[in-house]
A = this chain, B = another copy of it.
Amino acid sequence: MSVIYNRVALIGLGLIASSIFWAIKRNGLAAEVTGYARSAETRDTARRIGLCDRVCDSAAEAAADADLVVLCVPVGAMAAVAAEIGPVLKPGATVTDVGSVKRDVIESVSPHVPEGVHFIPSHPLAGTEHSGPEAGFAELFDNRWWLLVPAEGSDRQAVARLRALWEGVGSNVDEMDADHHDLVLAVTSHAPHLIAYTMVGVADDLRRVTDSEVIKYSAAGFRDFTRIAASDPTMWRDVFLTNKDATLEILGRFTEELFALQRAIRTGDGDHLHDYFTRTRAIRRGIIEAGQDTDAPDFGRVKQPK
């Protein structure tokens, strides 16, 4: 593939930014990639492992002269970063972000984007439970969705160019409006994460009673919840605070259903339970057919002997 943006700036150097860097390099999609992270330790790590062609000591320095600036910081930090880089943005440049929430990011970032610069929010539906500059790898986005959330009246040529970049790193790209994005993600990602965090917290309370048996005997179910609940705390705090309404709406529905199932257990209504569990099984088939997972059985991954 060929160069899509001459110079790309990555602001924030965690799992997503480092994966973007390696994926851009894999296919030669940019001539130069600059990077900036707030923490000096992260910048040192980036320099040591060759993450970015040039690691800068300020966001403004990294963003100056960039044709594309990608904001890869937690959603709650977007406004401050946008305010810092706004004055140095080149006319005709594009700004995007990778935040898991879109309405809030649009409201935080837009006021700082000068006339003549294109702001095109985006969100890769990809990640792992690891975080930090050393967590990234070039394949993270392969065959994953990357959602673009352009405002009405966005420059279609700028949108097409950004789409080409995210396709170039391996993603399938779709467009969606911000409110709809935030609702879909509340269902598929935000509410499930809060639920997993909650269940792991409950077990942790009980662990003190049962002397670490909960960890020792963690079977399917709980084991998967702990993986989800190992994700970056700052990122997820910001997601819940900024996608408050949609998340609370879905959690409300969830609680309602959970109470109905608890009542079925209490009253011994086996038919209700069986019907419910049969219906959810069908959804799994849909996900496998959609190529978002395989139906290879998962029975826990066991540490290999050295």
Q: A residues bordering B, Cβ < 8 Å?
A: 76, 125-130, 135, 137, 140, 142-145, 147, 180, 183-185, 187-207, 210, 212-231, 233-234, 236-238, 240-241, 244, 247-248, 250-251, 253-255, 257-258, 261-262, 265-266, 268, 270, 273-274, 276-281, 283-288, 290-304
- 20 A-B pairs, CB-CB below 8 angstroms? A128-B220, A128-B299, A129-B298, A187-B206, A187-B222, A189-B220, A193-B221, A194-B258, A197-B277, A202-B257, A204-B280, A212-B286, A233-B273, A233-B274, A241-B273, A255-B258, A288-B303, A291-B303, A293-B301, A296-B301
**Is B266 touching A248 in the complex (CB atoms < 8 A)?**
yes
**Identity of the chain B residue whose Cβ is nearest the Cβ of A15 in the assembled complex:** B297
User: A172: shortest Cβ distance to chain B, in Å?
Assistant: 10
By a CB distance below 8 angstroms, the chain B residues around A293 are 218, 223, 226-227, 300-301
**Identity of the chain B residue whose Cβ is nearest the Cβ of A126 in the assembled complex:** B299
**Is B188 touching A299 in the complex (CB atoms < 8 A)?**
no
By a CB distance below 8 angstroms, the chain B residues around A217 are 125, 145, 147, 184-185, 188
**Is B203 touching A188 in the complex (CB atoms < 8 A)?**
yes
User: A265 touches which one: B214, B244, B279, B300 (CB < 8 A)?
Assistant: B244
**Identity of the chain B residue whose Cβ is nearest the Cβ of A213 in the assembled complex:** B184
Do A240 and B218 contact each other (CB < 8 Å), given the known contacts A192-B199, A229-B277, A277-B197? no
Which 9 residue pairs spanning A and B have beta carbons closest together?
A128-B297, A192-B221, A233-B277, A230-B284, A229-B280, A200-B280, A188-B222, A215-B286, A125-B219
User: A298: shortest Cβ distance to chain B, in Å?
Assistant: 6
By a CB distance below 8 angstroms, the chain B residues around A191 are 199, 202
| Complex: A184 Cα to B214 Cα, angstroms | 6
**Is A291 touching B302 in the complex (CB atoms < 8 A)?**
yes
User: A224 touches which one: B200, B228, B253, B285 (CB < 8 A)?
Assistant: B228
User: A301: shortest Cβ distance to chain B, in Å?
Assistant: 4
By a CB distance below 8 angstroms, the chain B residues around A255 are 255, 258
User: A304: shortest Cβ distance to chain B, in Å?
Assistant: 8
**Is A228 touching B237 in the complex (CB atoms < 8 A)?**
no
User: A210 touches which one: B143, B184, B190, B265 (CB < 8 A)?
Assistant: B184
**Is B144 touching A300 in the complex (CB atoms < 8 A)?**
yes
**Is B229 touching A284 in the complex (CB atoms < 8 A)?**
yes
**Is A228 touching B236 in the complex (CB atoms < 8 A)?**
no
**Is A280 touching B197 in the complex (CB atoms < 8 A)?**
yes
User: A98: shortest Cβ distance to chain B, in Å?
Assistant: 13
**Identity of the chain B residue whose Cβ is nearest the Cβ of A205 in the assembled complex:** B253
| Complex: A185 Cα to B127 Cα, angstroms | 30
Q: Could you say which of A219, A229, A237, A295 has the most chain B C-beta atoms within 10 Å of its C-beta?
A: A219
